[in-house]
Each structure stands twice: as C-alpha cells, then as structure tokens.
Amino acid sequence: MKTITFYSYKGGVGRSLTLSNIAMRLADLGKKVCIVDFDLEAPGLHLKFNKHINQSEINKGIVEYISDFQNKDFIPKSVNEYVTDVNYLGTLNGSIKLIPAGNIYSDEYWKNLSSINWKELFYSNENNGVNLLLHLKELIKKDLNPDFILIDSRTGITDISGIAMTLLADSVVTLAANNDENISGTARIIKSLMNNENNLLGKLPKIHFVLTRIPYYSSPDEKHKEIRIIRKALAAINQNDNLIEKVFVIHSDRDLEEEERFKINTISERDISIDQIVPIEEDYLMLFEELTKGDLTEEELFRFNALRESELLIEEAKNTTDKAIKINKLKKAIELNANSHEAFGLMAYIYNDLKEYDEALSFAKKAANIDNENLNYKFNIGFSLFGLLKLDEAVLVLEDILKLNEKHYGALSLLGNLYCKKLNYEKALGYQLKLVEYFPDSHGGYNSVGNTYRLLKQYEKAFEYVYKSLELEPKSSFASGTLAEIYGEINNNDEFYKNLQLSFIFGMTSENFERIMKEDEVYKKYLKEDRFLNLLRTYRIKVNLID
C-alpha cells in the first residue's frame, strides 16, 4: 500500500484536480484507490467526483473521525462508516473509495471542525493525534486494502498538513503557481520535509515539485520562456541545496478555465493540428509515471494501453458515417479488447442496418454475453431475429425485455411490427397503444397505431391516429404514406395520389417504398396506372415492380 500526499502552499493551483486525475488513471489500470480529503476548511474531492458520487450518502469523514475521538473518546474499529463509494469502474476494473472531510453541507460539520483542539491533539504529552492518524491508516489497510492512498492536504503551514505529509506519506507532491509567494512558501515546506529532525518514522518521504498553470508555448521559438521559468523555480526551491532534481509542469488549459474536468484519460483527437494542442494530458501522465515507478508491471501497462487504443478506435468509429470504415475500426478495437461489449454492440447495430442479420445476431449475442444487463444488446438480438424472420424466437427475446422494462420503446415498437407481420393485428395494436401511452410525443408510434387500424379496416380510428402523428411531425414521409394507403383502400384516388406525392416530397426513399409496396396489397391496383408510374419517375423512386 503506497501513500501519496498532494500539498500546495496556496490554493488555486489545481492540487485536488491533479490528485483526482491520478486516482482515475490508477483505477483504470486496475488498482484499488482510497482518496482522503484532509483539506478540512475547504474540502473539494467530493465535488471533483460529483458525477460519480451520491452526495446524500456523505455523512461522516475525517472531521468526525477526529472530533469523535477528542470530544467523545471514541475510536472506531472499522473505517467503513467514514467511506463514500465513488461509482467509477476503471478500464481494468479498478475502484476508488473516498474518505471525505465530512458532510460540509450540515451545520454539525462546522461545529465539529471548530471544536477540534489541534494543539492538544498533536502537542500534548500523550501525542494522541499521531497515534489516531496512524490508526486511521491501519483501518484503511484492514478494511479497504487499497493499492494506493492519495491524500489531499490542507494548504499553508499547519499541523494537519504537516502530519499528512510527513507521517502518512511515502511520497509528497508539492504544487505551486509561478509566483514568489507560492514558490518561496513551497521551498520552506520542502526544506522542512527533508530535515531529519522532522522524521517521525525513520523514513523521509520522496518529494516531487510541480509548477502549475504554466502557459503552453507551441512555437519552438518561444520554448525558451518555459525553460527559463523552470530554471528560476528550481533555483528558488533548492537555494544552494540539491533538494529537488526535476520540475514537473502542468500547463494551463482553456478547457479547465471554462469547466473543471478529468484530463488524464481524455481520448484525444488524432487529427487535431499541432498548434491547437495543450498537452495537459501528457503533463499528468509524466507525473503519474514518476509517482508509480516500480509499482506497475509491464503487463498491466501493455493491457491498459491496448484497452485505451480500443476505446479510441470505438470513438473514431462513432464519429464516421462510412459503414465500411466503422466496421474496420471496430474489428481492430475487438482485436485489442475481446471483452468490449460496446464494440460488439455497435457492430450488431451496423450489420442490422445493412440487413446482414446473421452477422448482426452473432455480434449482438457476444455483446449480451459480456453485459447481460444491457437491454439494448438484447434488443439487437430481437431485431436480428426479426430480420431473419425467426419471429417466435424474436417474441421471446422482446417480451423478456418488457419484463425488465415495460416502457422499452424499441421492444414495444418491434413487437407491434412483428405481430402485424404475423397478421395478428389485435395483438400488434395492444403493444402499439402502450407505446403511445408511454411516449405521447412519438409521431412514429401514432402512425403505427393508425396503420394497424387501417389493416383492421377501422378507417375512422386509422385517420384519427395518423393525423395525430402528422400534428407532431407534419413532414413525416411515413405518416403521409399511411394516409395515402387509407385513402387508397376507401378508393379516394385523388387523396391517395396527393398524400403519396407528399410522402415522396418529405423524403420517402426508394428502398423504403419498395419494401412497403411488397408488404401492402393496396398498391396492386395502381401498379399499371400511368399516373402512379409517372409519379415514381418524377420523384426518382426506383422500385422493382415485378414480384
């Protein structure tokens, strides 16, 4: 279990964000990470992971741990009641646990914090504070057994920041902005940490110095400016002593100025021009590699890099419209990660779209086998079976989806289409009516209901629902086509042709219209009419009129 403390003499230098990025990278590499918020006056780790934490679950933390001991003489036997789950599953199934400062939104937190007597805790004859924090570290090891503990320390020069750095840490990351106050204050801290008189446990922590918020100079002609900043900072830190050999840099990033977000695992755009790149991801990675020297195996790093490359290929596949390119990228992604349910799921979707249902079914089953709780993968199986006309098998899959989620749009819609194909219009109507009940804004749903009423010869109801569809989407090519078919069945040829023309104007494709013609007998009586054939020619609708 390795412990790393992140410290800054002043706030606003990106300390907590740097810790959070390192934690996510470790989790993605399959490591179990415990992050501890010792910045008790201005805690922020819970906010860095806001999307991954249920804030209402934060009840206790470091403040309660210390105040309960000092005010109630209570020492817990387990750390679990102070732990908040971070719902982030790393690429290699690592995990993150948070021990927060406490519930900062309650008045009780600030009362407990103000009640702590730090002088008595750390400078009385009993020296209880030191033992209490060592006990905390042992509880973390016993109950959570993390590979890494990352501690977010208080700013300035305080008792608790000194304890977090010297007593609990194997390594200390000191971060500073490029100004005299930051660097001189950090220099005093580093000198103190390297002083054997302050060595309580017989081992000095390893110190790393990081300059943050440094402008990125993309032009080679300006690189000397950054080099000069680094040399000046290094000289100020060392002050004729060889305390620090290397300065790490985290550049300023416009994205982070607008909104804080994780950067270390960002999937970068490969085609971005070099002058647009701010290499903050690389900055974090360089620091990460230094902090984890000797802690990660070559196999772990190789596997992680393969998984990241796989994720990048998936993103690239999503962002291209060319299906052949999509398939090629996804195949490469699967070669790198044979357990990528997302890649298999996307392949199933593409092959279903291409009407290559055997291939689609194979990929859909693989996706569902890896992630059997994903209903969209199950739906892809049902869709493929429907395309293969294995209707009874498709029914079983789709109805199983509805048992788990009765409001699954795709399953309701496809079951309606399926039972229409089986000529069981009443059953089809049952699913379609549920669909528009659950999704009252679905113009496609209303059109399906209207079409089924047409097939049942209930034309008044058919008109009602198709017009509802057109109210929601006046330029729907499918609803206009359904309206044409209703008029065709009641022998109103002028309205049939008018609405069929609107369907073509609104974008009905040759492929879709040919499928509709083959499935619906209403068109048979029009196949040899010049008016019908001329309409097809006018709108360049190319269909095979020979069955």
Q: What are phi and psi of 175, to 5 degrees?
A: -120, 140
Instruction: List, run by run, the mean pLDDT of 10-residue segments along the chain (547 residues).
Output: 91 90 90 93 88 86 92 91 86 88 91 88 75 90 95 72 66 92 87 68 81 84 86 86 85 64 50 48 87 88 86 92 96 94 96 96 96 94 97 97 96 97 96 97 97 96 97 96 96 96 95 90 92 94 75
pLDDT value of residue 519? 86
pLDDT value of residue 53? 87
Cβ–Cβ under 8 Å, residues 79 and 143: yes
CATH class of 2-295: alpha beta
Block residue for tokens 């990470």: 33
- Could you tell me the CA-to-CA distances from 10 to 174, 181, 212, 437 in Å, in that order? 10, 8, 12, 57
Q: Is the dihedral of CA 120, 126, 130, 132 positive or negative?
A: negative
Tokens of 473: 């989407």
Buried b (16+ CB within 10 A) or exposed e, 394-415: bbebbeebbeeeeebebbbbbb
Type of residue found at 473: E
Closest by CA position to 83, among listed 105, 61, 64? 61
pLDDT value of residue 276? 43
Cβ–Cβ under 8 Å, residues 86 and 28: no
pLDDT value of residue 273? 37
Portions of the chain given CATH number 3.40.50.300: 2-295
Separation of alpha carbons 336 and 485, rounded Å? 50
Measured in whole angstroms, the distance separating CA 428 from the mean position of its chain's CA atoms is 37
CA within 13 Å, CB half, 207:
26
Name residue 249's beta-bridge partners.
211
**Angle at Cα 505 formed by Cα 504 and Cα 508, nearest 5°?**
35
